[in-house]
Amino acid sequence: MSKNNLMNTYGRFDVTFEKGIGTKLYDVNGKEYLDFVSGVAVNCLGHSPAAIINAIEKQSKNLIHVSNYYWNTEHTALAEKLSNNCHHNKVFFCNSGTEAVEAALKIARKYGKLKSNKNKNILLYMDNSFHGRTIGALTVTGQEKYQKDFLPLMDGVKKVKFNSIEDLNKNFNENVCGIIIEPIQGEGGINIAHTEFLKESRKLCDKFNALLIFDEVQCGIGRLGSLFAYKKFGVIPDVICIAKALGGGFPIGAVLANETASQAFVPGDHGSTFGGNPLACAVSLAVLTELVDKGIINKIEEKSTYLKEKLNNLKDKYNVIDEVKGMGLLIGISIKVDVKDFINLCFKNGLLVVSAGTNVVRLLPPLNVSKAEIDEALNILEIVINKFS
């Protein structure tokens, strides 16, 4: 089977997977891997969970797709389920995190125009952030390596130093229509936003009548131990971008907004052909039932504490780990050796992990991962760490 027909957009590992069950993946040769990537925080219930299989089978027999010119039962139910679990009462459905970010940026720009200030169109974003690869999302991604080959990007944006209240105040004024922040920077290195910084952002948005946007695409949907990441910080944004784990492996994204922000959009301002697709929404409802109603989220903190404690034991034992950071089951291991070599050796030993930033190994197990599976991953990590000691 030729692999030459795919565009060269990813530096893929030399492996082809054909089956996955729970936390395990199996390649075409039958080799087993422990998956602590989870599709980059997507497979929150692991691979091939019964809840998703049943939802796909049931919904595909009823209604797979219908235009957004009409209502459908599933998108209405999912919007209600999401709204009942947050402070936001309006939902727009799309297909991915990048699309969710694009919608949020448009909401902020339109909101600025509605405030009768023709210059109220500035979007603030953080250095070291990552919000996606479309032109709009790329414009507010604070990493030059992703931007440089696609310049010029959008006008009307300003970069702020992450967690710097001084720089935030320096750049905030009446012309700002919105600010976008990841509560935890995933691709940037598992960097946690300071609560004081988020509170100051909220205060300035209220003062200058701008929208506070949280990008929870990677850190939301249970990853931190609450359905929405903002609840761990005590700061309520106006707009939330979610995706990834929302579908547990089935493509779906969403934007949640409060009443004030949502009024920016009227029919014709935005849309998505497949957004609110009945099949995707049925799967998402099944995922949320498992996470929320069946209590998977409630066990995240315990697993996180266990995993970080064991990793810190490895840090004390070997001179390879510099820092263990992160929250919930979004964990970063800052290491003193080449991160690519480290990840490749994990791969050879049957553990899938990915990098974040320049020197961080990222652990993203399924949210229903067992302690036995965490121990299995820790055993492989110790084998690898020992090689570099």
pLDDT mean across residues, the chain: 97
Q: What's the number of domains the chain is made of?
A: 2
Phi and psi torsions of 365, nearest 5°? -70, 160
Tell me whether residue 326 is in a domain: yes
Considering the domain architecture, whether residues 275 and 325 belong to the same structural domain is answered as no
SS3 content of the chain, % helix, strand, coil (to 5): 40, 20, 40
Distance separating alpha carbons of residues 83 and 279, to the nearest angstrom: 20
Considering the domain architecture, whether residues 328 and 258 belong to the same structural domain is answered as no
Helices (H), the chain: 38-41, 50-60, 73-83, 97-114, 135-139, 144-147, 165-171, 195-208, 259-262, 278-288, 300-317, 339-348, 371-388
51 has a pLDDT exceeding 70:
yes
pLDDT at 3: 80
Tell me whether residue 374 is in a domain: no
Distance separating alpha carbons of residues 252 and 243, to the nearest angstrom: 6
Domain that holds residue 323: 298-360+379-389
* Residue owning tokens 């969710």: 100
Q: Which of 51-55, 115-119, 173-177, 241-245 has the lowest mean pLDDT?
A: 115-119
pLDDT tens sequence across 187-197 = 999 999 999 99
Share of the chain above pLDDT 70, in %: 99
Please compute the mean of the pLDDT values over residues 229-243 and round it to a whole number.
Answer: 98
Tell me whether residue 38 is in a domain: no
CB atoms within 10 A of CB 18: 10
Residues of the binding site for pyridoxal 5'-phosphate: 97-98, 130, 215-218, 273
Single out the residue in 293, 320, 335 at which a domain terminates: 293
Tell me whether residue 308 is in a domain: yes
316 has a pLDDT exceeding 70:
yes
Tell me whether residue 189 is in a domain: yes
pLDDT tens sequence across 87-108 = 999 999 999 999 999 999 999 9
Please compute the mean of the pLDDT values over residues 262-287 and round it to a whole number.
Answer: 97
Please report, for residues 11, 119, 385, the alpha-carbon distance to residue 317 in angstroms, rounded to integers and kept in the order given. 33, 56, 10
* First vs last C-alpha separation in the chain: 40
- Coil, helix or strand for 133? coil
pLDDT at 221: 98
Considering the domain architecture, whether residues 68 and 194 belong to the same structural domain is answered as yes
pLDDT at 115: 85
Considering the domain architecture, whether residues 205 and 314 belong to the same structural domain is answered as no
Q: Say what the pTM is.
A: 0.97
Distance separating alpha carbons of residues 47 and 190, to the nearest angstrom: 24
Q: At 169, which CATH number?
A: 3.40.640.10
Distance separating alpha carbons of residues 372 and 389, to the nearest angstrom: 25
Considering the domain architecture, whether residues 263 and 339 belong to the same structural domain is answered as no
pLDDT at 4: 82
Tell me whether residue 39 is in a domain: no
Single out the residue in 269, 293, 317 at which a domain terminates: 293
Residues of the binding site for N(2)-acetyl-L-ornithine: 133, 272
DSSP annotation of 382 reads H
User: Token pair of 194, please?
Assistant: 């300071």
170 has a pLDDT exceeding 80:
yes
- With vertex at residue 173, the alpha carbon angle to CA 168 and CA 176, rounded to the nearest 5 degrees, is 90
Q: At 315, which CATH number?
A: 3.90.1150.10
pLDDT tens sequence across 355-364 = 999 999 999 9
* Band (389; pLDDT cuts 50, 70, 90): confident
Considering the domain architecture, whether residues 281 and 307 belong to the same structural domain is answered as no
Please compute the mean of the pLDDT values over residues 27-55 and round it to a whole number.
Answer: 98
Residue 200 near residue 207 (C-beta atoms within 8 A): no
Single out the residue in 293, 321, 343 at which a domain terminates: 293
Residues of the binding site: 97-98, 130, 133, 215-218, 272-273
pLDDT at 362: 98
What is the chain's length? 389
Q: Which is it for strands 191-192 and 184-185: parallel, antiparallel or unpaired?
A: antiparallel
- With vertex at residue 98, the alpha carbon angle to CA 76 and CA 124, rounded to the nearest 5 degrees, is 110
Tell me whether residue 22 is in a domain: no
Considering the domain architecture, whether residues 287 and 262 belong to the same structural domain is answered as yes
User: Token pair of 126, please?
Assistant: 């953080």
50 has a pLDDT exceeding 90:
yes
Considering the domain architecture, whether residues 234 and 159 belong to the same structural domain is answered as yes
Considering the domain architecture, whether residues 118 and 267 belong to the same structural domain is answered as yes
Considering the domain architecture, whether residues 303 and 273 belong to the same structural domain is answered as no
Considering the domain architecture, whether residues 245 and 172 belong to the same structural domain is answered as yes
374 has a pLDDT exceeding 70:
yes
pLDDT at 118: 81
Class of residue 206 by CB neighbours under 10 A (exposed 0-12, middle 13-18, buried 19+): exposed
pLDDT tens sequence across 222-233 = 999 999 999 999
Tell me whether residue 264 is in a domain: yes
Class of residue 168 by CB neighbours under 10 A (exposed 0-12, middle 13-18, buried 19+): buried
pLDDT at 117: 67
Considering the domain architecture, whether residues 136 and 279 belong to the same structural domain is answered as yes
